[in-house]
Chain A
């Protein structure tokens, strides 16, 4: 590749061990979760506004981060990431989770239809509502999506821990990523399994998301059930050792 040959000529003075860090590589011992990037590479930052903050308003940590970024190579931005205002990492994750057999076009299409459907329903409600109630109705589908997902996220989870031959359901704290994953997973499985066969996915999703937005519906019920189980198993909380 043109870039790597250029790299090699400019790096001729540096020792071989450092040139090895900048090429696409395969690690010597292949772990299960490895990547073609050397761990030396840093994650890219595609948002525009981050680069327009003037020098004076940076904290010392941000200054150090900038210094580090200027000396380290950066990974390439993925296909689904842009600097556009419509690029939402949470929504992208949801699209990926809905995708079957790598067909992102269909998954993205369903999500777009869902957002449009939600907007239509909310605008209809808005026009039918009396003057006083109009301000409370949220019409932005992205805001509804985020709020609905927030309402579905469990605060505490259960883990199966073996003690003395028996398995106990022990309440454990969940990381942010895990909570988001569970909320999305419940939403998708609920829409796929528990709805009428003939309704289309976008219709099912928009119904469920609007219900979660107002804290009703099966997904928030499932979250509450998980919380109740964790509360009832409170006595086993000390079985957790981490």
Chain B
């Protein structure tokens, strides 16, 4: 609305057209006092880059930072400008929003930094113009998915072993956790392979048995052996399935999942075979059931990431596959019909019916061309040619979509795995950097304390620069130390998470010759107001005990206890006053 404020005088002027035909006298306008409609220019300084704009431009959107009086907080009296310590490149886009009413998203910017800027200036990202909105949404979704992934995997790693049931479930899902899970993983894989191989070899002719005339397949010759093998495999699979079922956090969901269905289908034929007696009419059905044993090969998908990705791809390309199927069947029916009527009157023709022609059409369209059924009339041959050409086209169309989908999902997966692998190394490097900054912090803290100490003793230490901010900061930290009866100290590299203030310390070596010892309470005792103390904690498992120990000793030793070194533990303790 405010964007067209410039047109309001015009709209009011055109309302003169209402006057002659108004039913009632129109109300008077409130006289506006003589106010200079000064449209002044506003100076906005964003990290050194100056922007200027009219005041009315900014006031177009009064619910944002720049449009409301919130910007008064950033007003610099001396230079009479608004100073923002933010990214000047991104500010460009924000200002353009005020100018043109459309917010654009620059493609080369990081999505989260852009979001931060928008949040700072109080602009909703939904206002992004149509030209850039899709891009923004895509990037945002990608980012959030990645964050979610990371968080999930973090949570997964962080969780210590819960109940035995949870442990088992985690072992099943992630075999690399401990050796038992790995062994289980390989054993099941081995048995799947054995089972599948046995099924295959069963049907190979094994040579004559003594006294028999025909060549029997191996399955019948060594039927007992194969039966025992089959039984063993099925028992292993059943045990595995039952264990998984027991360990699953959500049993119904687990039973509905694809993998468990495959498991069931793999072992069911055996049990059904056991139950069904040697009846003639059902034994035919029983033989067909044996076919389902081949599904055991799908159990390998737990072991192979690639197979899972393939399955997932096919699922996600369901619409393309459906389209392929549909168009193929349409084409088959058309061509089969035409072929049938073309070849109907040929003597001894194989095209006996339209369904019989289906076979020819399928073989031709997929360019197989077995040759067991061929057209003999000229029309038939022409139609056959067209059929094979169109077959190539119809099949070639949806295939690239499926391929690109597979490629995308595969690469996504690879990236995820790579990220997880790199994360450990990355975290280690980040820790080292934090260590360094933490060490610098402690050094400066020591200097401040020395300086304060020197001031207490009226020594002139004019080497140290007086930094008000640092002084106050360190004063604050020493207050904290006093409050909690703990202190900060030096530390070395140790694989632990670090925050800025709370520093968990590993064992330290006894330091000699450092400035720390210069202010040891060994020499000067009662006049000390502040001493540094280092409380180190040995291995985390014994943390609780030593902490309580140290608290006890500190409390019993009173306020002016001398320092105590217990070197066998690697703990240097100098109590604070």
Asked if A and B are interacting partners, one says no
> Which residues of B come within 8 Å of A, CB atoms?
none
> Which residues of A come within 8 Å of B, CB atoms?
none
